[in-house]
Amino acid sequence: MGTPSSRDDPRAEDLTARARIRDTAMRMFADRGADGTSMRAVAAEAGVSIGLVQHHFGSKAGLRKACDDFAIGSMLDEARAAASSGDPFTTPMNREVDELVLRYLGRALIDGSTTAAELFDAGAELAESWFAANWPERFGPDEAGAARARAAAAAMSAMHLGPIALHSHLSRRLGVNALDDENRALIPTAITDVYQAMATLFDNAQTSRGAEHE
């Protein structure tokens, strides 16, 4: 016996409707923000009744949590898993992440979202450990060093997630959609170029200072 289709199985159709409502809400939240989007507007855009939206998600807060869990939850899991590999350069734009998910994340970072904050903190905590492990003389273990590591890690997390929140400005400046699959590598590559250029600048400055003291 084959797997029942949504036409045969009301439960499958129910799940499809839930996913359609969630995706519609993600798109509207990304475009208008959560405050500018009502459950009734989501229902109308998704082509369902407000009662069905309430059936699946209960309230607007429940709908937004479902969007957060779907769009950001997997990234958060990966960010936490990256802690074991010691890779502080992992960013959502480095992966095959759907454009809608990135647009939603960008708006969530700006509007404020518990899950988005957890993603930011997970990246910062990973970077903080990385700084402390590789440069203990600068980033710990004393209080001043730990504070410096925390500040550097927070800045790194902002640098990696900032382009997603500012994607419209990046796209305008670059003349392409920075979140499109074919352009997705532009920003991570640019960030790497910035790191390498700054490293060269600092190396040259140290060399110059050393020559002056000879």
pLDDT tens-place string over residues 139-192 = 988 999 999 999 999 998 898 888 888 889 999 999 999 888 888 888 888 888
Is the dihedral angle over the CA atoms 82, 83, 86, 90 positive or is it negative? Answer: positive
**DSSP code of 93?**
G
pLDDT for res 70: 87
pLDDT for res 85: 61
**Are 97 and 113 contained in the same domain?**
yes
Is 51 domain-assigned? yes
Structural domains counted in the chain: 2
Average pLDDT of 87-95? 60
Give the rounded percent of residues in the chain with a pLDDT score beyond 70.
Answer: 79
**Are 56 and 100 contained in the same domain?**
no
pLDDT above 50 for 89: yes
Report residue 74's pLDDT band, with 50, 70 and 90 as the boundaries.
confident
Tens digits of residue pLDDT in 92-137: 665 566 788 888 888 988 888 888 888 888 888 888 888 888 899 9
Is 2 domain-assigned? no
| pTM attached to this predicted model | 0.72
pLDDT above 60 for 193: yes
How many whole angstroms separate alpha carbon 197 and alpha carbon 22? Answer: 42
**Are 40 and 113 contained in the same domain?**
no
How many whole angstroms separate alpha carbon 46 and alpha carbon 17? Answer: 9
**Are 148 and 109 contained in the same domain?**
yes
**Are 64 and 151 contained in the same domain?**
no
CATH number at residue 47: 1.10.10.60
**Are 136 and 45 contained in the same domain?**
no
**Are 93 and 197 contained in the same domain?**
yes
**Are 59 and 82 contained in the same domain?**
no
Is 1 domain-assigned? no
The residue ranking higher by pLDDT, 213 or 119, is 119
pLDDT above 90 for 58: yes
**Are 102 and 154 contained in the same domain?**
yes
Is 3 domain-assigned? no
**Are 166 and 116 contained in the same domain?**
yes
Q: How many CB atoms lie within 10 A of CB 2?
A: 5
Contacts of 16 (CB under 8 A, 6+ apart): 6
**Are 45 and 148 contained in the same domain?**
no
As to burial, measured by CB atoms within 10 angstroms (0-12 exposed, 13-18 middle, 19+ buried), residue 78 is middle
Phi and psi at residue 53, to the nearest 5°: -60, -45
Give the range of the structural domain holding residue 64, as residue numbers without chain letter: 10-69
